[in-house]
A and B are shown apart, each in its own frame.
Chain A
Amino acid sequence: NAGVTQTPKFQVLKTGQSMTLQCAQDMNHEYMSWYRQDPGMGLRLIHYSVGAGITDQGEVPNGYNVSRSTTEDFPLRLLSAAPSQTSVYFCASRFNYGYTFGSGTRLTVV
């Protein structure tokens, strides 16, 4: 098992550009989620999914879109990047007794 794989690891965007952060897991986990981590703020939930075709908003969903067409993939789309979206993004999937996280995507919006 590769666990939770996130791509890219680093990305620099210009304000107004759009992009998709990829997240894939090969453990057949139903639940997946996206968090952002900012200094002094901890981890905050952006969106989550309890299975293919089902998504819901977390604490900070504005400016982000998600879809879940397969169990394996849960991409996060930034519609029009803003400097406030500069952050480290983590994808996670749930197993029986916890959540496993990807290694993160460090995004800078200039």
Chain B
Amino acid sequence: SQELEQSPQSLIVQEGKNLTINCTSSKTLYGLYWYKQKYGEGLIFLMMLQKGGEEKSHEKITAKLDEKKQQSSLHITASQPSHAGIYLCGADIQGGSEKLVFGKGTKLTVNP
């Protein structure tokens, strides 16, 4: 959906490096979800952010929600080959709606 823009579209990093993926909305964010997808597989839920300024972490992955900028960032510290995949952000932009919209994804490659 054009309502959610992810950047970059693809990213190649060396193992051990840090990286950031951004998800920017053209509309107010009422809930923001991050997923990881391996090629040809389903989506794995990473985390959900709802409140401005909220920050959540799972292992080496941290996500933040900037309400003013209508943006979320996903940061991976000390990347590993197991982090490779496609990262997708999804959002409720209608407020209490179950109609999630998704970004087109960021393809992450981690070279050993």
Contacts and interface: CB of A to CB of B under 8 A. Distances in A.
A71 to B, nearest CB: 15
Interface in A33-57: 33, 35, 40-45, 48, 50
Given A35-B102, A101-B42, 7 more contacts: A41-B104, A43-B88, A43-B90, A44-B1, A44-B102, A59-B1, A99-B45
A100 B45 CA distance: 7
A82 B95 CA distance: 34
Interface of A: 31, 33, 35, 40-45, 48, 50, 58-59, 90, 92, 94, 97-104, 106
B42 A104 contact: yes
Interface string B18-48: 0000000000000001010000111101011
B104 A50 contact: no
Contacts of A48: 98-99
A102 B104 contact: no
16 contacts: A35-B102, A42-B1, A42-B103, A42-B105, A44-B102, A45-B101, A59-B1, A59-B99, A94-B98, A98-B33, A98-B48, A99-B45, A100-B45, A101-B35, A102-B42, A103-B42
A interface majority secondary structure: strand
B78 interface: no
B5 to A, nearest CB: 10
Contact of A43 (B41, B98, B102): B102
Interface of B: 1, 4, 33, 35, 40-43, 45, 47-48, 88, 90, 98-105
Contacts of B47: 98
A83 B88 CA distance: 26
A58 B98 CA distance: 10
A38 B101 CA distance: 14
B23 to A, nearest CB: 11
